[in-house]
Amino acid sequence: MHHQSAPERFPLYSLEKRKEDILKILEQGYLFYAKFHSQIVGFASVLRKKESFMIEHLYILPEHRHKKIATKIVESIFKKFLNQEIFASVYAFNSEAIEFYKALFELSSLVFKRKK
């Protein structure tokens, strides 16, 4: 979805680049994932930000979306960091993710960037 909406900002990455990203996440934060029939069908990366945690990425394979997998992953994050502040940010064009997060989070802030 990100590449389709803003290809100049989100180029397609090689598998090798994805592996590098995952190793970086494991060094700096936490990785939550969901499996279905021994296949990873979704994941979320969470990084510590001073006194809180930020969900950096949340991805579910397209054929496994709308099955509450993302909700279960986020609920696992809530359980792990029970008494901690947890934030998530979403690009304005990602309406599906915005609706998803509205069900689990309260709006905390808006970020604007300069018009081109």
Give the right CATH number for 2-104 from 3.40.630.30, 3.40.50.200, 3.40.710.10, 2.115.10.20.
3.40.630.30
What token pair was written down for 36? Answer: 């279905």
| pTM, to two decimals | 0.80
Nearest in space to 75 (alpha carbons), one of 51, 52, 104:
104
d(CA 56, CA 90): 9
d(CA 45, CA 115): 30
56 phi and psi, to 5 degrees? -85, -45
Output the tens digit of pLDDT for each of the chain's 116 residues.
554 555 555 555 455 666 777 777 778 899 999 999 999 999 999 999 989 999 998 999 999 999 999 999 999 999 999 999 999 999 899 999 999 999 999 999 988 989 98
